[in-house]
Every structure is written in structure tokens, then in C-alpha cells.
């Protein structure tokens, strides 16, 4: 193992930016180190699907010249970043994980990419995702499956699995993810990294030319995947703020996210729900979560048990998620039929079966179900807000189990087979309600697979989520767990 490349690979983005700014570390050296690591490790993990090696080297040389000139430098100057392959990067292949877009080159940057560039960040490449972000595991007909850095034969989760794997494996210090049913938090938990879902609209989508209103079907978020909360706050400070192309974008928050760091757990009230109402959870996961909460209590937090009493059954609530996702995929289907003229139902290309089944179901969806979905979402929102009424944040497992083998199609939780897409994730109700949340790595099960703790806050209180998450991070001291043993020999 090359200790120098490992050291740089696991240096935080904040530290890298500081060392580059001070002239202690060359951006050219940083970028080449990460490109070397990608060359050695990515064939095993398949985290990246496109590597921008020449563009990244050229950007690093430009960044180095700026340092030598004494230019004003952005907060991420010279720092590498990975971008999920659902987000457009100018002059770079963006496949959306679909055979229909295998050779598609984006003409413009999405807003969030422009902001990262303006901060000085250097794009290393695009990371793997299921086709159109359709699944909670990361594989697609174009590039295949991604492997978990803690055990490459296991899933990364999804749909931002390539980004989470890249960060956990030291192939990028920070990465961008998106989340419509847990797609930032699921892989962050499975891969042992930090994933934050800020307030809906805090990080804008765009430019949106076809359907700028789709992202409330369900609430969909852009957010950071990092190894530390501090790195996540730097990303959020760069990415957050209004954008005219996104009708849901929020104003710039009154306080910088990074300024929320440094607090303690004293006087913080944490409500704990072991099952978020009625989700199955393995005992091995609960053991880690409850041990963590016991430690947080000793550190000054007040931890209280909370009953989250949703109306109806798990299945009825999940129907709501499926109905609105079906409607969303009809929008995707019609947009692609119009421009660029791809019919996902008629093409001979090997489109993911779940993509086609969701479109077909959506085409048969009646307006009564859409009306009912809004009513059920209101009930879910009210229940979550009620649970949060006397506490600062709600805490629960992010996932009902740790990462399972990639070959498994029907995962089991607590000895029972669950819904293969969403039965093992405690994330998606928050995409129906719109609450900000984070997943933090807090320990391992007996198989040495990561366990994530999900922290949930009130609407428009994402900075509270960040503040408490940072205080928790200080007590857990997870950072020393890197690098994963499974990839040490590859480095």
C-alpha cells in the first residue's frame, strides 16, 4: 500500500483546500494522486463510469497557476469532486445510466456543477447510478453494478452508490448525490460515509427546460456525500441559494452551514424511534444505534423514546410513494419522447425492466390515486411534525440492515423477506414529507459492515440537523475507520 497516496486520498476536502491555499500542497499532485487511485481501485469497485483525467489535469494546472499568482481562491480551490451521472457536466458524457444515452455529451453544466466549479473544485468524473436513479441499489444496463468498499461483493445501496463508494474508498474527498427516496442516505449508510439531505429547494436543480416542477414528485434533493460533516457544510455553503430556473429554490440561508459547527450535545433533545413506525430492523443494527445513543446521552444529550404512529399500514404508505413516482416517470417518458425522441417502451435497447414497469403503471394511473396520494402525504407530514414537536431532532437507523450481497434480489431484514426496493430503507417517508435529514456512520455490525444513524429535523431546519450531526460526529469518532480493509491491498 502506498502510504502517501492513501494519506492524500483520505485527507478531508477542508484540509486539502487549506494546504493548497497555503502552498503546502500542489493541486497537480492532488489530482494526479486521485487519478492514480482511481486507476488502481475503480476496476474493482466500478464507482466511476467516466473519468475526466485530461480535463482534471488541465484544471489542476490552472489552479496551481492561480495559487502562485496570489489570486483570490474559492473555498474548494483545487479540491477534487465526483458528480453523480444524473447531473449534467459540460462537455462530459452524461448517460443517466441508460442505454439510450450511452454516448450523450452534456452541452451545459447544471447549476450545482457551475457553483462547484466557481468555488475552485475540480471534477474528477461521473459516478455510477441505476438507470434514471430508479433503484435503491446501484447497477444499470450500461456499466453494471458498483461494489461496496467494505466488501466489494456487496451492494453500495443506491441510487448515489457510485458517489458514496468513491468517497468511502478515497477516490474523491467529496461527491454530489441526489435523493428522491433515500438515494443519498441509503448508500451513505451502506458505504460508511456522511450524506446530507438539506431543506427541499436549498440546493437548486436546473437549468430545467422540460419540467421544472417535477421535483416534488416526491420531494427530491441534491446534497453532499462526504467523510466529514465539515466537508459537507463547505459543499452546502457553495451549492445553496436561489436559482431562477428552479421554482422551488430557497433563499440563501441566514447563517453559513460551516458556522453551525462546534456546538455540543448539551441541552439537545433527541427523540429515538427504533422502527420509524413499522419498519423492520435487524437486531445487529439496533445494537449499534442504541449503543451510540447511550454514548450521546452520556455526552450531554437528552434521549427520549418517540412513538411515530403513522395512519394505515406500511403497504398503504408505500403505495403513495409508488403512485407519485409513477406519475413522475410518465413525465420522464413523455419528455424523452419529445426530445431527444427516445421511446423507452418501444426501443429495442435493454432498458431496466423496473423503469418500463413504472412507466406502464403510470400511464394507467387514475386521478383519484393522485388525489389520495396528496391526502396521505399530508397525514405523513403531520405525523412526523407531531413526533418532532417536543424534541430538536429525530433519530433512527438509516437502513433496516447492512449491505447485502450484490446477487441478492430479495433482501431479508430481521429474518423476513421485505420489499426489494424500499422494505429495508427507513428513508423514503421523508421524501413524502420534505423533512431535512442526514445519515452518519456510527459503527459496524459483526461482519464489519457500516451502520448509519439517520437524523431528521423540522422543515426549514436543516442547519439544526447539521449542527446536531456535527456534535454527534465528535462523539462517535468514526474517521479513524478509513480506509476500508477490503480495499487496503488495492492501494
Which three three-digit cell numbers place residue 246? 428552479
Q: Are 301 and 394 in contact (CB under 8 A)?
A: no
Is the backbone of residue 81 left (phi > 0), alpha (psi -120 to 50) or beta? Answer: beta
Strand-strand pairing, 302-305 and 269-272: parallel
Contact in structure between 256 and 237 (CB atoms under 8 Å): yes
Q: Which of 26, 84, 437, 439 is catalytic?
A: 84
Active-site residue identified among 12, 26, 159, 163: 159
> Which residues of 128-283 form beta strands (DSSP E)?
139-140, 144-145, 174-179, 194-197, 221-226, 269-272
Residues in a beta bridge with 444: 450
C-alpha to C-alpha distance for 347 and 343, rounded to whole angstroms: 6
Of the residues 163, 183, 188, 481, only one is catalytic, namely 183
Close Cβ partners of 205 (under 8 Å, ≥ 6 residues apart): 110, 111, 112, 212, 215, 220, 222, 245, 246, 248, 249
**55 tagged catalytic:** no
Contacts of 357-365 spanning 24+ positions with Cβ under 8 A: 358/134, 358/322, 358/325, 358/326, 358/329, 359/326, 359/329, 359/330, 359/332, 359/333, 361/322, 361/326, 362/326, 362/327, 362/328, 362/329, 362/330, 362/333, 363/330, 363/333, 365/323, 365/326, 365/327, 365/330
Residue 232: which of 475, 491, 476, 463 has the closest Cα?
Answer: 463
Q: Is 84 a catalytic residue?
A: yes
Q: Is 106 a catalytic residue?
A: no
Q: Residue 197's beta-bridge partner residues? A: 437
Q: Which residues are catalytic?
A: 84, 159, 183
Amino acid at each position: 500500500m502506498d502510504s502517501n497516496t492513501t494519506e492524500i486520498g483520505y485527507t478531508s476536502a477542508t484540509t486539502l483546500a487549506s494546504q493548497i491555499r497555503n502552498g503546502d500542497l500542489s493541486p497537480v499532485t492532488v489530482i494526479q494522486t486521485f487519478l492514480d487511485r482511481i486507476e488502481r481501485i475503480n476496476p474493482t469497485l466500478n464507482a466511476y463510469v467516466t473519468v475526466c483525467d485530461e480535463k482534471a489535469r488541465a484544471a489542476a494546472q490552472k489552479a496551481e497557476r492561480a495559487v502562485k499568482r496570489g489570486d483570490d481562491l474559492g473555498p474548494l480551490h483545487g479540491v477534487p469532486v465526483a458528480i453523480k451521472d444524473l447531473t449534467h457536466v459540460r462537455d462530459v458524457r452524461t448517460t443517466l445510466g441508460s442505454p439510450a444515452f450511452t454516448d450523450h455529451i452534456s452541452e451545459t453544466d447544471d447549476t450545482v456543477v457551475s457553483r462547484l466549479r466557481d468555488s475552485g473544485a475540480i471534477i474528477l468524473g461521473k459516478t455510477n447510478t441505476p438507470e434514471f436513479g430508479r433503484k435503491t441499489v446501484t447497477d444499470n444496463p450500461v456499466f453494471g453494478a458498483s461494489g461496496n468498499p467494505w466488501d466489494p461483493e456487496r451492494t453500495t445501496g443506491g441510487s448515489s452508490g457510485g458517489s458514496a463508494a468513491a468517497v468511502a474508498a478515497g477516490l474523491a474527498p467529496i461527491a454530489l448525490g441526489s435523493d428522491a427516496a433515500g438515494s443519498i442516505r441509503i448508500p451513505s449508510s451502506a458505504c460508511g460515509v456522511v450524506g446530507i439531505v438539506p431543506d427541499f429547494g436549498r440546493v437548486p436543480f436546473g437549468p430545467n427546460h422540460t419540467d421544472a416542477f417535477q421535483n416534488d414528485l416526491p420531494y427530491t434533493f441534491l446534497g453532499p456525500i462526504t467523510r466529514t460533516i465539515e466537508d459537507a457544510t463547505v459543499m452546502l455553503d457553495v451549492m445553496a441559494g436561489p436559482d431562477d430556473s428552479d421554482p422551488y429554490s430557497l433563499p440563501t440561508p441566514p447563517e453559513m452551514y460551516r458556522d453551525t459547527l462546534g456546538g455540543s450535545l448539551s441541552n439537545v433533545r433527541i427523540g429515538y424511534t427504533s422502527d420509524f413506525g413499522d419498519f423492520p430492523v435487524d437486531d445487529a443494527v439496533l445494537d449499534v444505534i442504541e449503543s451510540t445513543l447511550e454514548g450521546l446521552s452520556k455526552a450531554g444529550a437528552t434521549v427520549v423514546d418517540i412513538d411515530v404512529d403513522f395512519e394505515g399500514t406500511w403497504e398503504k404508505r408505500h403505495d403513495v410513494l409508488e403512485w407519485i413516482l409513477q406519475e413522475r416517470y410518465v413525465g420522464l417518458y413523455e419528455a424523452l419522447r419529445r426530445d431527444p425522441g427516445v421511446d423507452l417502451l418501444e426501443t429495442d435497447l435493454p432498458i431496466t425492466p423496473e423503469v418500463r414497469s413504472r412507466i406502464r403503471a403510470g400511464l394507467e394511473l387514475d386521478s383519484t390515486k393522485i388525489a389520495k396520494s396528496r391526502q396521505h402525504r399530508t397525514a405523513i407530514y403531520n405525523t412526523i411534525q407531531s413526533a418532532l414537536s417536543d424534541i430538536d431532532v429525530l433519530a433512527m437507523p438509516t437502513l433496516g440492515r447492512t449491505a447485502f450481497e450484490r446477487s441478492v434480489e430479495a433482501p431479508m431484514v430481521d429474518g423476513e423477506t421485505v420489499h426489494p426496493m424500499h422494505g429495508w430503507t427507513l428513508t423514503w417517508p421523508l421524501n413524502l414529507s420534505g423533512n431535512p435529514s442526514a445519515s452518519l456512520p456510527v459503527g459496524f455490525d459483526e461482519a464489519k459492515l457500516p451502520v448509519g444513524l439517520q437524523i431528521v429535523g423540522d422543515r426549514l431546519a436543516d442547519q439544526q440537523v447539521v449542527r446536531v450531526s456535527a456534535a454527534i460526529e465528535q462523539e462517535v469518532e468514526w474517521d479513524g475507520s478509513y480506509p476500508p480493509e477490503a480495499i487496503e491491498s488495492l492501494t
